[in-house]
Amino acid sequence: MGFELNGDRLREARRYRRLTITSLSEKAGVSKQMVSRYERGTAQPGLEVFQKIVRELQFPVDFFTGTNKFEYKDEGTYFRSRLTSTQSEKNAK
């Protein structure tokens, strides 16, 4: 294959472009479960799917294959109690 997709970077780019896993999966021609697996690092896309993802998200190829320079966990910003927040509000995209 020659490349390894960095799932954290894929998630970051998808959120930056304000795409859901479902919308990216439709554009890449794979199931939403596969996109989720790519982001978690439990699967790697084939070259054709990888090219579709890169084209759709419009980030350099090196962005998706690079290693993380630091670890950052986004917990989101909440203006409501977590108890009354909807699931989509808790998973800020």
**What confidence score (pLDDT) does residue 52 get?**
96
Identify residue 83 by its one-letter amino acid code: L
Q: Does domain 7-65 have CATH number 3.30.70.580?
A: no
Higher pLDDT, 49 or 82: 49
Strands (E), the chain: none
* Per-residue pLDDT at 69: 67
Task: Give per-residue pLDDT as tens, 22-81.
Answer: 999 999 999 999 999 999 999 999 999 999 999 999 999 999 988 766 665 666 655 555
Rg of the chain in Å (alpha carbons): 14
Indicate the domain borders of the chain: 7-65
The answer to whether 74 and 92 are in contact (CB under 8 A) is yes
pLDDT at 66: 81
